[in-house]
Structure 1
Amino acid sequence: MYKINFRHTRRFQEIINAFLKHGFGHVLFRLGLTNRKSSKLDNAEMNMQDMGIRLRKTLQDLGPAFIKLGQVASSRRDLIPEQISVELAKLQDHVTPIPFAKVREIIEMELEAPLENLFIRFNEEPLAAASIGQVHVAELPTGEKVAIKVQRPDIRQTINKDLAILRDLVGYLEDNVEWAKRYCLRDMIDEFARSLNDELDYRVEARNADRIAKQFMEDTTIHIPSIYEDYSTEKVLTMEMIEGIKVNDYEQLDTKGYDRKVIAARITDSLLHQMFVAGFFHGDPHPGNIYILPGNVIAYLDFGMVGRLSEDMKYHFASLVIHLRSGDTKALMRTFYAMEIISDETDLRSFKRDVEDLQSKYYDIALTEVSLGTVFLELFQVAYRHHIQVPSDITMLGKAVLTSEGLLAELDPDISIMKSVEPFGKRLIVERYNPKNLLERSWDGMVENFEIISHLPKDLKAIANTVKKGKVQLDINVQQVQIFLNRFDRISNRLSLSIILLSFSILMVGLIVGASIAGQTNRLWHFPVLEVGSVVATLMFLYLIISIFRSGRM
């Protein structure tokens, strides 16, 4: 039976009661969180959809931390069955607004001045209210109309208590339940806690807005509201008031003469630019966060949730899309290996068979007929079946695509994100194999590999000492052999390339410097040594590059 920290007993009991109320007593008993008496009236045979509905209602009752947890979980189709994910995606905040007296107190404490001195007008009725904060409209002394987000009192303490309970609970599950250990639930909760704590600090949201605004400094078709830093703190965020039309208010858009196709194209291009050019994107582009301004200008709001894609992750995603379309199953498998998401328990033969089935479904189909969101869902479902944990960056990317794709289809039924993303993917692949980028990665790889080699004698000595003490454990997993060989092959190819390029550079520089010092031409017996040497070395370089590319191990 699970024992809770004494300080959290009351809140833990509230959590248990909420799950019992919605029919999860049998589940709690199976996990060792309650006794049999608590679960005797439960229907243990509820189906997935019914479970999803009940879980959504339970999390709704438990407040901000659990609502956010459910919203994040709804994007993890690699971990959660689709029927449950669909229900969790419906989670919404239904909260009572903060009384104005408390709003005044928070603002005056944070901005260190009376409300009347800060604003010449302040609307006491909130424009919107959510579980973490609410928004009021005001006017600055300089005349600008602003939206002020005010954090709920004591919300951080409430959320931190729930996060502490979740950490304790996940630790218990990982120690006692096999599937919890397999999915690294503790790491997931830690990541969720970091994300939620960022949302509780409005200064982080302000920096996110500024970073995305810089992406579109030269693009007048995209507008990011300005942040007023002098009126913003950890608990108060003051930004430019956006007075446009909500993007899904189609009737008003049509009445005012806006061009839906132009709007859809601009939203698509701006989202793909954020994802695959900047690598920093709006993580929750639902209709409530997108407004349309005159001239079909797109305005994005609410930057509390953002996603990040590294250069490698952008390339891997582009590779998945292109290889899926081209029908290259081997290349798809190589991409999964490169992403390092295949675990020791993955049945490689079964996984490859499912990948081949998925690939054959989309092979040579017109891009306009393919939904990128559906592709994501099916990839996540394959991952779920094989206990593969997809990187959180990719799942947030999937959520953003899923959220926006339905909206875009209403704006312009002819638009296809899949078709729009392909040029970005091809551009990423071309950039990755640009000679300059290859040289930079090769140099980095060479430095890293030489560091490994320099530490090799010390490591071998440590291994020898361990063997002498009889403390060596041999654990061979046949499924890991191919992964090991792929990685070893890639390292050796990179090291070879690095050494040849370095040797070539040293040789050429030496000959040129020597010829300059001697004041002689670069001919030997009337033979153009440097020119011919450069041609030969270049051909060797190209041969090596082609060989490595053909091996698929770069």
Structure 2
Amino acid sequence: MYKINLRHTQRFQGIVNAFLKHGFGHILFRLGLTSQTTPKLEGNDMNMQDIGMRLRKTLQDLGPAFIKLGQVASSRRDLIPEQISLELAKLQDHVTPIPYDTVRDIVESELESTLEDLFAYFNKEPLAAASIGQVHVAELHTGEKVAIKVQRPGIRSTIEKDLAILRDLADYLEGNAEWAKSYRLIDMIDEFARSLKDELDYRIEARNCERIAKQFEEDITIHIPAIFPGLSTSKVLTMEMIDGIKVNDLMQLDTKGYDRKVLAARIANSLLHQMFVAGFFHGDPHPGNIYILPGNVVSYLDFGMVGRLSEDMKYHFASLVIHLRSGDTKALLKTFSAMEILSEDTDLRLFKRDIEDLQNRYYDIALTEVSLGEVFLELFQVAYRHHIQVPTEISMLGKAILTSEGLLTELDPDISIMKYVEPFGKQLLAERFAPKRLLEKSWDGMIENLEIISQLPKDLKSIATTIKKGKLQLDINVQQVQIFLNRLDRISNRLSLSIILLSFSILMVGLIVGASIAGQTNMLWNFPVLEIGSIVATLMFLYLIFSIFRSGRM
């Protein structure tokens, strides 16, 4: 049976009791977390929706760390069955507000001054209360209205204890269950812990807010609340008070004369700009975090959860969208391969068949009838069946798109987010293959390969020594041969390109320097040697670039 750290015994027992209370005793026993079993859930209790409901109630009872874990898990349709994910998405905080005297003590301690000196007015009643903190409305002596987020006392130690227990459990499960190892449970818990700890530091949220605000400095249709750094710490965050209409309050929007179609378009474009242009986006764009201001201005709130996309991930996601839309199964498989997420257990033939089945369901359907979020949820479910772990960035992106898509459909039933995504995707693909970008990538590749070549003698000597000692081991997985050959092909192509470029550079420099020293022209038998040589070499270079990219191995 699993042994818990002595410091966490009491909390661990509370966690076990919560799962037992909601009927998960049999599962705990099978995982080795309890010494005795309870009757297995039977009949209707075995359906996924009921299990999801029980799990949601359990996590809600266990507090903030487990509530957040459930909310994150609800977006992982590649790992969690759909019915359970839908139940986990309903997780909400049900907490008692922090008493005003405690709030006052925290604010004054953090900001090192009295409440009266800091604010002209401070509302004792919270505007909103959650498991990590609560928000109060106040007014500065300068007359500006502000919203002050105050962190609950002792919440950090509570969450850190729960995270330590989750990390120990993940370590235990990876050592005793193949499914936990195949899904890299430890890595998932570590990623979740980093994200949650960031939410506990309000200075990080303030930086996230300011970073997204810079994306829209020139766009008067999007408003991000201003942060007051002098009145903010890791436990207190003071920002501009947004006095608008919640985006899903359709009746009030219509009464005030707002244009819902314009609002939907602005939200779609601003979110996709964050994702595909800036690569840094609001990770939880639900209705409570989006308000509408006069002039159809969209304002985003709460930047505790953000997503990041590297240049490669932006390109991969754009490729998935374009290839899904065009029905190019072969290109889709290449994209999954390039993302390096195919596991050794993946049967490529069956995976290709399931991808084709998915595309056939959406073939020749009008864009207005296609839900991009739903398409990607189905794609995640296909990945789940084939033991493919979707990167966290992509799953968060999928969740953000699904959340915003539901909101956009409420505002404008005729909207199709696919229509808004496609131009961004095509722009990303065009930028990826722009001549300047290709030259930069080729140069980087040449430098990288020159470093590899410089280390080659040392590596060969090391291999020869290993062989002489009889310690060389070969571990070849037949299912991975094609992936290995693809990578080898890519390396050889890039190496060839680098050598040609290097040779061309040395030859041209030598000819120019030689002609300069000798005081000769570039003419040989009345032919402009350097000019013709440069043209020929350039054509060879362009041909190499074309052939490598045509093979899909760059």
- Please indicate the TM-score interval, normalised by the length of the shorter structure: over 0.9
Q: Give the aligned residue type for 2:279.
A: G
Give the AA of the match of 1:85: S
TM alignment of 1:275-424, pairs within 5 A: 275-424=275-424
CA shift, 1:365, in A, is 3.3
> What's the CA shift for 1:218?
0.6
- Following TM superposition, by how much is the alpha carbon of 1:102 offset from its aligned partner in structure 2, in angstroms? 0.5
- 1:503 counterpart = 2:511: no
1:105 counterpart SS class: helix
What's the counterpart of residue 8 of structure 1? 8
User: Which aligned pairs between 1:450-529 and structure 2 lie closer than 5 A?
Assistant: 450-512=450-512, 521-529=521-529
Task: For residue 214 of structure 2, give the secondary structure of its aligned residue in structure 1.
Answer: helix
Structure 1 match to 2:181: 181
Residue 464 of structure 1 deviates from its aligned partner by 3.1
Alignment correspondent of 2:63? 63
* CA shift in 2, pair 1:237/1:460, >3 Å: same
The residue that corresponds to 2:164 in the other structure is 164
Distance 2:510 2:98 in 1: 74
Question: Is contact 2:221-2:298 (8 Å) kept?
Answer: yes
Summarize the alignment of residues 32-181 of structure 1 with structure 2, pairs less than 5 Å apart: 32-37=32-37, 39-40=38-39, 42-43=41-42, 46-181=46-181
Q: Distance in 1 between matches of 2:522 and 2:252?
A: 75
Deviation at 1:516, TM superposition (A): 5.8
Q: Which moved more, 1:503-512 or 1:390-399?
A: 503-512
Aligned residues: 553
1:358 CA drift (Å): 1.6
Aligned 8 A contact 1:324 1:363 in 2? no
Identity of aligned residues (%): 82
Per-residue deviation, 1:493: 1.4
CA shift at 1:506, angstroms? 4.1
TM-score of the superposition, structure 1-length normalised?
Answer: 0.97
- Aligned twin of 2:246: 246
| Contact 2:449/2:498, CA 8 A, preserved across alignment | no
Contact 1:325 1:365 in 2 (8 A): no
- The amino acid that maps onto 1:40 is P
Rounded Cα–Cα distance in structure 2 between residues aligned with 1:496 and 1:271: 41
Please state how far the C-alpha of 1:471 moved relative to its aligned partner: 3.1
Relative to structure 1, the CA distance from residue 495 to residue 366 in structure 2 (aligned partners, 3 Å threshold; closer, same or farther) is: farther
- State the Cα distance separating 1:449 from its structure 2 match: 2.1
CA distances 1:28-47 after superposition (whole Å, capped 9, x unpaired): 1111111335x137548611
Matched residue, 1:266: 266
Cα distance, 1:108 vs structure 2: 0.7
Structure 1 residue identity aligned to 2:195: S
- Tell me the distance in 2 between the aligned counterparts of 1:263 and 1:515: 66
The residue that corresponds to 2:228 in the other structure is 228
The Cα of 1:185 is off from its aligned counterpart by 0.3
Q: CA deviation at 1:514?
A: 5.3
**What SS is found at the alignment partner of 1:340?**
coil
Displacement of 1:513: 5.4
Q: Distance in 1 between matches of 2:327 and 2:501?
A: 34
Partners in 1 of 2:128 and 2:178 — Cα distance?
A: 43
* Displacement after TM superposition at 1:520 (Å): 5.7
Asked whether the equivalents of residues 64 and 132 of structure 1 are also in contact (C-alpha less than 8 Å), the reply is yes
Structure 2: how far apart are the matches of 1:66 and 1:206? 24
Aligned partner letter, 2:310 = S
Change (3 A) 1:177 1:529: same
- Indicate the larger mover: 529-538 or 14-23: 529-538
The 5-angstrom pairing of residues 181-220 of structure 1 reads: 181-220=181-220
Q: CA RMSD in A?
A: 1.6
Q: Secondary structure at the match of 2:242?
A: coil
Q: Is the 8 A contact 1:25 1:42 kept in 2?
A: no
State the one-letter code of the partner of 1:271. L
Shift of 1:505: 3.9
TM-score norm. by structure 2 comes to 0.97
Residues 323, 331 of structure 2: 8 Å contact kept: yes
Matched, 1:19 2:19: yes
Alpha-carbon distance, 1:510 to partner? 4.7
Alignment correspondent of 2:532? 532
